[in-house]
């Protein structure tokens, strides 16, 4: 088996089309077909089901793809480790993050890091909560910012960077809009705007309401935090959201109000794989994360 064969195989598997894979690889279609044929002959199995010009993985092909993705991750990391060993300040950091940290937290820390290491590069991946955890475990990336921290997962290491408050965002003409604080149960009869099911932050909101004996009436769903802000601005409901998402500005026609009962919070931190070491540039960024948020916490207190 050659690395070239594996790369050709993975490209065809992703695109389910030999011609499209060849175009993406900038090689002749016949070369891709020949390498796939040689790989199947060497393994003694069919990796693809041919359906005209399209192809689909066989059951064993799916297993082989999963293993090869992990293997190629290790090969790519080995190459990067050698490069970064020579000059870690010029390496690449692959990091995943959820949508709630995309607008402020991650850009802020990357900006500060690149002031110190201006030649460092980043590959960023926004993903759902469970996909972030699985990606760190499988080796798709070695670092992820995440909130809340998954405390039960045994295959990752975790470090809390800060704990943030969850606040209420109300339309400016809401009857409680002039309050300096409010109790969550005071919103039990209001329409809520929430993220769709599958987002862990939705679970935080729903669980906080359930603990007070009510289920939020979901009037609308938004695909991201900015969508929720827009729905509240339009007067279509109330929302709970991480305070960090409102740091730079409060959306037009809305007010932010702290919650006092209960004090809803979430932990935000960084996770890394327990069985793999960080690459040199990743280790620089990991140490910087801890230093940055420790200094920020000291300043705030």
DSSP string across 153-171:
-TTEEEEEEEEEEEEEEEE
Task: Please report the pLDDT score of residue 271 as a whole number.
Answer: 96
104: domain range? Answer: 87-155+272-300
The pLDDT value given to residue 86: 64
Q: Any idea what the CATH number is for the domain that residue 19 is in?
A: 1.10.10.10
Q: How confident is the model at residue 21 (pLDDT cuts 50, 70, 90)?
A: confident
Q: Is residue 53 part of a domain?
A: yes
Q: With bands split at pLDDT 50, 70 and 90, how would you rate the model's confidence at 300?
A: low
Asked if residue 135 belongs to a domain, the reply is: yes
Whether the predicted pLDDT of 127 surpasses 60: yes
pLDDT of amino acid 52: 74
In the chain, what percentage of residues exceed pLDDT 70?
A: 97
* Model pLDDT for residues 59-106, shown as the tens digit of each residue: 998 999 998 988 888 888 777 777 767 678 888 899 999 988 887 889
Could you tell me if 175 and 208 lie in one domain?
yes
Q: Is 79 among the domain residues?
A: no
pLDDT over threshold 90, residue 216: yes
Assess whether pLDDT exceeds 60 at residue 301. no
Instruction: Inform me whether the pLDDT recorded for 298 exceeds 70.
Output: no
In the chain, the number of structural domains is 3
Q: Are residues 49 and 26 part of one domain?
A: yes
In a domain, 82, yes or no: no
Per the domain annotation, does 81 fall within a domain? Answer: no
Considering the domain architecture, whether residues 48 and 175 belong to the same structural domain is answered as: no
- d(C-alpha 112, C-alpha 292), whole Å: 8
Tokens of 216: 């939020």
Residue 143, domain CATH: 3.40.190.10
Whether 26 shows a pLDDT value over 60: the answer reads yes
Q: What is the pTM of this model?
A: 0.68
Which of residues 58 and 85 earns the better pLDDT score? 58
Cα distance between residue 88 and residue 82, in whole Å? 10
Q: Does 289 lie in the same domain as 145?
A: yes
Rg (CA), the chain: 24
Each residue's pLDDT tens digit, 145-187: 999 999 888 899 999 999 999 999 999 999 999 999 999 999 9
Position 275 pLDDT exceeds 90:
no
SS3 121: strand
Q: Name the most confidently modeled range: 96-100, 198-202, 206-210.
A: 206-210
Q: Is the same domain home to 62 and 98?
A: no
197 and 128 co-located in one domain: no
Q: What is the CATH number of the domain that holds 219?
A: 3.40.190.290
187 and 45 belong to one structural domain: no
Determine how many CB atoms are found less than 10 A away from the CB of residue 147: 24
137 belongs to a structural domain: yes
Answer yes or no: is 80 within a domain: no
Same domain, 262 and 124: no
282/149 same-domain check: yes
- Give me the mean pLDDT over the 223-241 stretch: 93
- Clarify whether residues 208 and 241 are in a common domain: yes
Domain shared by 277 and 261, yes or no: no
Is 296's pLDDT higher than 80? no
Burial class (CB in 10 A: 0-12, 13-18, 19+), 167: buried
Mean confidence (pLDDT) of the chain: 89
Candidate from 169-178, 205-214, 241-250 with smallest mean pLDDT: 241-250
Q: For residue 299, what pLDDT is reported? A: 66
287 vs 139, which has greater pLDDT?
287
How far is residue 92's CA from residue 68's CA, in Å, rounded to a whole number?
22
């Amino acid at each position: 088996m050659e690395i070239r064969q594996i790369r050709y195989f993975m490209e065809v598997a992703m695109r389910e089309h030999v011609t499209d894979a060849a175009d993406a690889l900038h090689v002749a279609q016949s070369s891709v077909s020949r390498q796939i044929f040689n790989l199947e002959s060497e393994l003694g199995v069919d990796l693809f089901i041919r359906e005209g010009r399209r192809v689909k993985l066989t059951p064993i092909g799916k297993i082989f793809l999963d293993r090869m993705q992990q293997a190629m991750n290790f090969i790519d990391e080995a190459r990067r480790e050698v490069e970064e060993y020579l000059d870690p300040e010029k390496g690449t950091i692959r990091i995943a993050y959820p949508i709630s940290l995309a607008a402020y937290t991650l850009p802020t820390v990357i900006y500060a890091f690149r002031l110190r290491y201006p030649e460092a590069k980043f590959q960023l991946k926004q993903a759902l909560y469970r996909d972030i955890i699985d990606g760190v475990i499988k080796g798709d990336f070695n670092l992820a910012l995440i909130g809340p921290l998954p405390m039960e997962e045994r295959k990752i290491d975790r470090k809390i960077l800060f704990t943030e408050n969850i606040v209420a965002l109300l339309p400016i003409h809401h009857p409680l809009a002039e309050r300096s604080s409010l109790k969550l149960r005071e919103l039990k009869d209001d329409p809520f705007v929430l993220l769709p099911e599958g987002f862990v932050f939705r679970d935080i909101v729903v669980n906080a309401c359930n603990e007070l004996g009510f289920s939020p009436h979901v009037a609308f769903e938004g695909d991201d935090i900015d969508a929720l802000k827009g729905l509240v601005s339009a007067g279509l409901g109330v929302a709970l959201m991480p305070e960090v998402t409102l740091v730079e500005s409060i959306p037009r026609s809305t007010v932010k109000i702290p919650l006092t009962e209960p004090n809803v919070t979430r932990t935000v931190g960084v996770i890394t794989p327990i069985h793999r070491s960080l690459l040199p540039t990743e280790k620089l960024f990991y140490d910087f994360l801890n230093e940055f948020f420790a200094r920020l916490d000291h300043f705030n207190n």
